Amino acid sequence: ELSIPEDAVGSSLFDIPFFARHRDAVEGLLSRLPESPEAPGARPDPADVKDAETGRAYTLDVFAAPLEASLGGAIIVVVDITEQRALEEALVRNEKLAAAGQVASALAHDVYNPMSVLLSHIQVLSTRRLSDEESSRFLSRMEQEARRIIRLFERLLGTVKADAYLEELTEVNAIIRDMMDVFEIKFRNRGIKASLVEEVGSLRVLTSPEGLKQGVFNLLDNAVQSIERPDGAIVARIGSREGCA
């Protein structure tokens, strides 16, 4: 906090050593005040000064407090807002950290899903018990999930074009079939009987394909996690009711 000598009361502002050392900065603040205290106008931005005497940085603000009309004039107040500015900056940093934590949490969840698929497929491929056709199918899925992770990071880093995640006419049946195939190993390992019932042929809706994939993945993953018995079942239905898919 800025220290002002007790005997400075009643003296000229620039008789005080601190303000004398930073006369240019203070005069710059004063010159940007409105000509009349009652006149509308933006207050000048605070000024940052580094004091060689104390080795500290200070932030100074200034405002005019009008006197009674009969007296005229105003009291010019120069305020040290260093601590206030530090608190405001700390608050902004904390808000940014909180936002970053939320982003990291969401990203961790989104990345975990395709990573778990990759791991399970690698484990099955390492047994070398699959036919060439099955191995090719597994490798194709792994490539899709790896590309999905890349797209997640591209979206986070802002390197994807703005229209990359816009809604488009999307084939629902194909995406759900893909996701059911992705979970094939999890279903098998947990002893879950999974089936897909397509009540309609080709159902197309206006949506983000990536968003739909993520949503279906999360639904299937939650369903798998909720089944504790080894003989559980999951039935996915694709249909349309009253204009809703």
Instruction: Give tens-digit pLDDT for 27-84.
Output: 888 777 766 555 555 567 788 888 888 888 888 887 776 666 666 666 667 778 888 8
pLDDT at residue 136 greater than cutoff 80: yes
Helix (H), strand (E) counts: the chain: 7, 7
pLDDT at residue 244 greater than cutoff 50: yes
66 contact partners, CB below 8 Å, separation of at least 6: 37, 38, 73, 74
Average pLDDT over residues 98-113: 78
Query: Does residue 104 or residue 158 have the better pLDDT?
Result: 104
What is the tens place of the pLDDT at every residue in 206-239? 888 888 888 888 888 889 888 887 788 999 988 8
pLDDT at residue 160 greater than cutoff 50: no
Q: What is the pLDDT of residue 38?
A: 54
**What pTM was computed for the model?**
0.45
Q: What is the pLDDT of residue 234?
A: 92
Integer Cα distance of 144 and 210 in angstroms? 12
Average pLDDT over residues 183-207: 86
pLDDT at residue 91 greater than cutoff 80: yes
Q: What is the pLDDT of residue 184?
A: 85
Integer Cα distance of 45 and 37 in angstroms? 17
Q: What is the pLDDT of residue 109?
A: 75
Q: What is the dihedral of CA 213, 101, 115, 170, to 10 degrees?
A: 10
Taking alpha carbons only, the member of 110, 223, 136 closest to residue 176 is 223
